Structure 1
Amino acid sequence: MTSISSDLRLVDFATATPSMLQAQVINAIDSANAFLDAMTDTIDNSTSALEDVMTFDHINLALDRSWGILSHLNSVMSNNEIRHVHHELLPKLSAYGTRVGQHQPLFNRYQTIVNDTAFFATLEPARSRAIELALRSFELSGVALPKAEQEKFAAIQSKLSTLSATFSDHVLDATQAFALPLQEEQLAGLTESGLALLADAGEQYKVRQLASGVLTQADIETLPTPYYVASLNIPVYLAIMTHADNCDLRETMYRAYVTRASEFDKHTNAKGESLNNADIMSQILSLREQKAKLLGFDNYAEVSLSTKMADNVAEVEAFLRDLAEQATPTAKQDLAQLQKYAKNHSIDDLQSWDSAYIAEKVKQSEFSLSQEEIRPYFPLPKVIDGLFAIVERLYGIKVQEKSESVSRWHEDVRFYQLFDADDHLLGGFYFDLFARSGKRGGAWMSGFQSRYTYDEQDHQQLPVCFMVGNFTPALAGKPSLLTHDEVLTLFHEFGHGLHHLLTQVTVGDVAGVNGVEWDAVELPSQFMENWAWDAEGIALISSHVETGEPLPKDKLDALLAVKNFQSGMQTLRQIEFALFDLLIHGHSPALDYDGVLATLNTVRNDISIMQTPDYNRFANGFSHIFAGGYAAGYYSYKWAELLSADAFSKFEEDGIFNPATGKAFRESVLSVGGSFPAKTNFENFRGRSASIDALLRHSGFDSSKNINAANAQTTQEAV
């Protein structure tokens, strides 16, 4: 288990320059277009049709690879050169993608295969599923449209790809443009780790100010050391919002964060252009509606749901509103608790910028738990080792680090190989876990390379993925020390990673996370979080950074007791986002910016139990739906949480490290990827349809309302 297998086909990031990747993307598109140009309407038989389909899939590997690398670098190492090349290629990629989706001879190949029912029945399930999904994709790409409307569809797709990229740029630029040097009196309450983060941000601030000519070296030398600067990078922002005693500072930070890329944000990009996303949002919604109408749908939400587990908009809305009703009694108790403690800290009128601060005070008082007190017990190396130990017990897999043997895009990145119990190599993955300049916020798993086999050219490749976070970096000679929230994020993304890596499917389009319905793709990730909430799991991932002592029982008990702390308000917040997303995409005619804000206010009035400031422009930074894949699909987090809670309840019944149950989950869900419908995979594991009971119990809502009444409705709706 020492050498790096050629089947991993790892990237040499040292030579992966933007210009080289650009040339590779263009060459790959040209090769694929040449194949399409040569394709005629004549098809000999189903066998030759399948051969053409598989050959074309193989040709597209080069494009998937080169564009995948460039997109990844644009997310984790963004600079002007990478961004320029990335954006310059978007119209070309969009035009190519539209051409494929509307290419009649290629479409005819797929139809020929399906229409030959005897031949189609002989195909392996993964291949037949991939073909069925491809036919649906053709329909959603406008293959049946008249020529003039196909051209209109292509123009819409191209414009949408550019607008989404610009939206994302504006959020990143607005986040990084904010810097607030702090005075001594503003630092009260901040923890040692928080101050270290602010000092590190201060050093970065000096470098930027010097490079831009705003400050001279002489100016820099007059600044105090350490020099504390507040930024909107998540670790810094959360450190202030959770611990800063200065209410004015918290409000300043909150206002800056929730007005990013809005009409209140006066920052500009390198070209001097406004970062306001308002017009981009209305353009995106208008174009999505036009696309929906061309395809024969009433609105874009219907387009989105046509590829998901949920059947229609009404079903999703009913699911969300019912869950909100279940959560509201608990949420009101949560708010009352915060308001009580706010008064104890001389805050008579609890505001949005106070909630995290007061919540931390409640945890310290009610549960004797402080995130800062437990942070030393979760040093990242120990958490990672424990995570690997947990999945070894569950699935019989083993992880080996090989960071120094491979090329990486940044010195902080780590690389690992994943092996089965018999030392058979399954795949490889990268961790890029720390916040830094030029890196998109949030956390995600990118299934860069799928498991895939093409016997005609003796081509085999193993799955490889990138798992990315924005955790607090190592500071003051200590390893990165995680909050428990960050631990949960790592487990979540690793759950996605296992879904990608443990697949046994070799048809790329349905291997790993590919082809999995969007509202089920969060099942393995949310499922994995459960082991970071279990006493036995926590014992494996925790030890004090200096003494090596395990998490003391009183802190463990407090951590487990706090699991459902504020769960009602947090659930309502997620439902607020999901319902807003669903409604703006389900509205026809498409909403302008004022309509978007009005819809958000209506949803808040319906769902939220705490007043939101009028200036809050959360939607302007809602990258999930305007620059990601979650448009009319943000509800997927709660939908999949129902599935995940119910799946984990099987482990609760059998034992959370029961190897037979772990084997069953691996074989029924993780190994099969998108080769069967998610509903089938879930029921194969659970032996029945999904139930809402476990979700309500795990969230602490089981006594809020009559579960049986909710279950009767939601079981039917959920799957």
Structure 2
Amino acid sequence: MFEDFNIENLENSKEILEVKIKESKNKIEELLKIENKTYENFVMPYQEVGERLNEFITPIFHIDSVKNSNLTQNVLEECLPIISIYETELSQNDYIYTSLKDIQDKYYTSLNDIQKKVLENEIRDFELSGCHLEKDKKDKLKELNLKLSELSQKFSQNLLDATNSYEMICDDYEDVKELPKSDIELASFEEDGKTKYKFTLQMPSYLAYITYGSNREKREEIYRAYCTRAPENENVINEILKLKDEKVKLLGFDCYAQYSLSRKMAKNEEEVVSFLEELGQKGKQKAKEELEEVAQLAKEDGIDNIKSFDLSYYSEKLKKAKYDLDQEFYRPYLEQNSVLEGFFSFLNEVFKVEFVDITSKTTSWDEKVKIFNLKEDGKITGRIYLDLEARKSKRGGAWMNNWHTHYIDTKNKEHLPTAFIVCNFPPSKDNTPSLLRHDDVVTLFHEMGHALHHLLSKVEEPYVSGISGVAWDVVEFPSQFLEYFAYAKDVLKIFAKHYKTKEVLDDDSIQKLINTRNFQSSLAMIRQIEFALFDFKLHQKLYKDAEEIQDLLDSIRAKFSPIIPPSYNKFQNGFSHIFGGGYAAGYYSYKWAEVLSADAFYMFIDSSNLFNKTLALKYKESILQKGGSSNMDKLFFNFAQREPSVDSLLKIDGIIS
């Protein structure tokens, strides 16, 4: 039923990949020889060829990001050129393109809406891949795609290497005395008969010191290390931007932003920029007021000019003063296993999906990985792998990755979906379980929103099932929607239980968490606007060198940001979303999709019941089960029976009343 995750033969991946690509090419050649091509005899088997190859390739990329080693790096470096060349050749194959066009023209009236969507997407993607170009331009595009995939991988590897190479040692307990006990335990080690404390740029460790570190000089030391990582990425960025500009101009676009929007829900560049600037203008005054509140607190310590490396530390103090909130108090109530058990219970109650632990019955890549089958109406419908704890060999951040997709093949066999959720939560030790921050819980809800969007799909065509075919600027909608429930009192009560006493978190403590949700919400929004505008404007024309790029970032900060980072901050060298991932000219998607997610959640608020099963099942059927089979604006309208409103987002964030 499911393919087990098995990388015993990883070192031979290149040879196996070459065989599989040859098989794929042969199968496509067979399909192209069919005289009377139809959707059934050509498009469906063509999709299956793509799915089978993707199912082999995904673990190669996945293992390099979760269990990074010289072997995984070498394997990926060997496989990347082969994959890139194959995908470019495939995407420029005139015969496939004209076959799809012919089927669309000939059978359009007899196709269902989902089949029409598959053809529409594929034909668009062939055109965006240069299928209409002359041979010399196609060859050039192939070369550019290969270089870009290699540079993207190089950017990520540079960042990971830089993250792993840094350690900050504190000899004095005074420097760590304000840290939560569990963070002190994780950082402590013995050397020459003395207890010392080690901090790294791994996110749990970095956040612990930047938020609670008593020594201002040490805070700046680790902050500086974090925001000056991988200076060599400056040259990688210049090269990526140059090649992307060259690529899209070959395809007939004015700039990369224009090219990017051709696959998104947003209609044009002006719409994106005005959307972001409108949010920025509405939030910047309140952000200034939020910063001033922190600055006043810092003045009590004699700091008259608050800096970026002070912000988390004094914000945490202010939050505690305003709401009497001690994050450390909550962590024993948010033990990882308890959170998972309660979270699954909640999902089963509202979406009628059961999670069955099968960790001991199958294989994965690390002993800490947990594996679950999903069941709906007593039938197994999907599988999920959870790799939640930080370790040195794992890339930072959190993400969901799809492996298998739900579809019905040409032999009428149902293929079930699988997905990975990867996070970097505080690791468990022999004597210390993994105790989460509430922010970690929110992250888990977010990534599970992505996973359910993929795993609950009932679409029968693989290229628009699950998250496949979903426009990039709305793909965050289901993940952000689920996040809101991580602040709901009745949801928290299901799993917030002390790991020793089993006592449930009391109402007052939960209310404090809810009250803090909008703490510095305008500062957080302005930060996202800064990232999104920088990304989008960076791709509206060619910025030729690091100085021009820095000037752009500085100009956006000057317009919106209430606090300007120190000049040594080179945030762009670590902006892996756009240089090492798929968010180039698309980072605005987080805010764009948040409008949908906030509006959908408001429907539950308006119903006066966050466990509204009728509404939850309507959401499951209208959004989650439909995957990419229809445009999200249409799916949202079917669910809500109206257009989304920006005001719902601003209300939920407490920016307007």
Give the TM-score normalised by the residue count of structure 1. 0.89
Query: 1:708 — aligned with what?
Result: none
Describe the SS at the equivalent of 1:455: coil
Q: How much has 1:480 moved relative to structure 2?
A: 0.8
Matched, 1:238 2:207: yes
Query: 2:465 — aligned with what?
Result: 511
Deviates most, 550-559 or 246-255 = 550-559
Residues 399/225 of structure 1: CA separation in 2 closer, same or farther (3 Å cut): farther
Query: 1:150 — aligned with what?
Result: 138
Displaced runs of 4 or more, over 3 A:
35-40, 222-227
**Is this contact kept in 2: 1:289–1:590, CA < 8 A?**
no
Query: 2:64 — aligned with what?
Result: 74
Letter in 2 for 1:70: I
Query: 2:389 — aligned with what?
Result: 434
Distance (Å, rounded) in 2 between the aligned partners of 1:125 and 1:394:
29
Matched, 1:321 2:315: no
Equivalent of residue 540 in structure 1, options 486, 491, 494: 494
Q: How much has 1:122 moved relative to structure 2?
A: 2.4
Equivalent of residue 168 in structure 2, options 170, 174, 180: 180
Distance (Å, rounded) in 2 between the aligned partners of 1:61 and 1:583:
35
Distance (Å, rounded) in 1 between the aligned partners of 2:496 and 2:262:
43
**Is this contact kept in 2: 1:446–1:466, CA < 8 A?**
yes
Residues 686/39 of structure 1: CA separation in 2 closer, same or farther (3 Å cut): closer
Equivalent of residue 10 in structure 1, options 4, 7, 21: 4
Equivalent of residue 620 in structure 1, options 565, 570, 573: 573
Query: 1:455 — aligned with what?
Result: 410
Distance (Å, rounded) in 2 between the aligned partners of 1:223 and 1:500:
52
Distance (Å, rounded) in 1 between the aligned partners of 2:359 and 2:430:
23
Matched, 1:685 2:654: no
Gaps spanning 5+ residues in structure 2: where? Answer: none
Distance (Å, rounded) in 1 between the aligned partners of 2:219 and 2:122:
50
RMSD: 1.5
**Is this contact kept in 1: 2:332–2:435, CA < 8 A?**
yes
Residues 435/225 of structure 1: CA separation in 2 closer, same or farther (3 Å cut): farther
Distance (Å, rounded) in 1 between the aligned partners of 2:319 and 2:374:
38
Q: How much has 1:168 moved relative to structure 2?
A: 0.3
Matched, 1:444 2:399: yes
Query: 2:654 — aligned with what?
Result: 700
Matched, 1:343 2:332: no
Q: How much has 1:603 moved relative to structure 2?
A: 1.0
Letter in 1 for 2:102: T
Give the TM-score normalised by the residue count of structure 2. 0.97
Query: 2:11 — aligned with what?
Result: 19
Distance (Å, rounded) in 1 between the aligned partners of 2:217 and 2:371:
43
Distance (Å, rounded) in 2 between the aligned partners of 1:354 and 1:418:
44
Matched, 1:360 2:316: yes
Q: How much has 1:312 moved relative to structure 2?
A: 1.1
Equivalent of residue 65 in structure 1, options 55, 69, 79: 55
**Is this contact kept in 2: 1:419–1:427, CA < 8 A?**
yes
Distance (Å, rounded) in 1 between the aligned partners of 2:192 and 2:423:
32
Describe the SS at the equivalent of 1:433: strand
**Is this contact kept in 2: 1:50–1:113, CA < 8 A?**
no
Distance (Å, rounded) in 2 between the aligned partners of 1:62 and 1:23:
16
Distance (Å, rounded) in 2 between the aligned partners of 1:251 and 1:514:
42
Q: How much has 1:311 moved relative to structure 2?
A: 0.9
Q: How much has 1:557 moved relative to structure 2?
A: 1.8
Letter in 2 for 1:129: K
Query: 1:218 — aligned with what?
Result: none
Describe the SS at the equivalent of 2:582: coil
What whole-Å deviation, never above 9, does each CA across 1:203-252 have from its counterpart, x for those lacking one?
Answer: 8xxxxxxxxxxxxxxxxxx5346442110000000110111110000000
Distance (Å, rounded) in 2 between the aligned partners of 1:526 and 1:223:
48
**Is this contact kept in 1: 2:5–2:365, CA < 8 A?**
no
What whole-Å deviation, never above 9, does each CA across 1:541-593 have from its counterpart, x for those lacking one?
Answer: 20112211111222112111111001010100000000000011111x34322
Q: How much has 1:396 moved relative to structure 2?
A: 1.2
Q: How much has 1:36 moved relative to structure 2?
A: 4.2
Deviates most, 295-304 or 53-62 = 53-62
Equivalent of residue 93 in structure 2, options 66, 80, 103: 103
**Is this contact kept in 1: 2:486–2:492, CA < 8 A?**
yes
Matched, 1:521 2:471: no
Matched, 1:557 2:551: no
Q: How much has 1:37 moved relative to structure 2?
A: 4.8
Q: How much has 1:375 moved relative to structure 2?
A: 1.2
Residues 27/226 of structure 1: CA separation in 2 closer, same or farther (3 Å cut): farther
What whole-Å deviation, never above 9, does each CA across 1:620-669 have from its counterpart, x for those lacking one?
Answer: 01000001010000000011111100011111122211111011000100
Q: How much has 1:128 moved relative to structure 2?
A: 2.0
Q: How much has 1:60 moved relative to structure 2?
A: 2.8
Equivalent of residue 29 in structure 1, options 18, 21, 24: 21
Equivalent of residue 454 in structure 2, options 500, 507, 513: 500
Matched, 1:90 2:71: no
Describe the SS at the equivalent of 1:672: coil
Equivalent of residue 247 in structure 1, options 216, 221, 229: 216
Describe the SS at the equivalent of 1:633: coil
Q: How much has 1:12 moved relative to structure 2?
A: 2.9
**Is this contact kept in 2: 1:416–1:429, CA < 8 A?**
yes
Residues 393/28 of structure 1: CA separation in 2 closer, same or farther (3 Å cut): same
**Is this contact kept in 1: 2:228–2:568, CA < 8 A?**
yes
Q: How do residues 464-613 of structure 1 correspond to structure 2 at under 5 angstroms?
A: 464-475=418-429, 477-587=431-541, 589-613=542-566
Letter in 2 for 1:19: E
Equivalent of residue 43 in structure 2, options 27, 45, 53: 53
Query: 2:241 — aligned with what?
Result: 285
Deviates most, 161-170 or 190-199 = 190-199
Q: How many residues align?
A: 655
Describe the SS at the equivalent of 1:439: coil
Deviates most, 180-189 or 136-145 = 180-189
Distance (Å, rounded) in 2 between the aligned partners of 1:124 and 1:410:
43
Matched, 1:169 2:138: no
Percent of counterpart pairs with the same letter? 37
What whole-Å deviation, never above 9, does each CA across 1:431-479 have from its counterpart, x for those lacking one?
Answer: 00000011000000001111122133x5432000000000001136232
**Is this contact kept in 1: 2:201–2:226, CA < 8 A?**
yes
Query: 1:139 — aligned with what?
Result: 127
Q: How do residues 196-211 of structure 1 correspond to structure 2 at under 5 angstroms?
A: 196-199=185-188
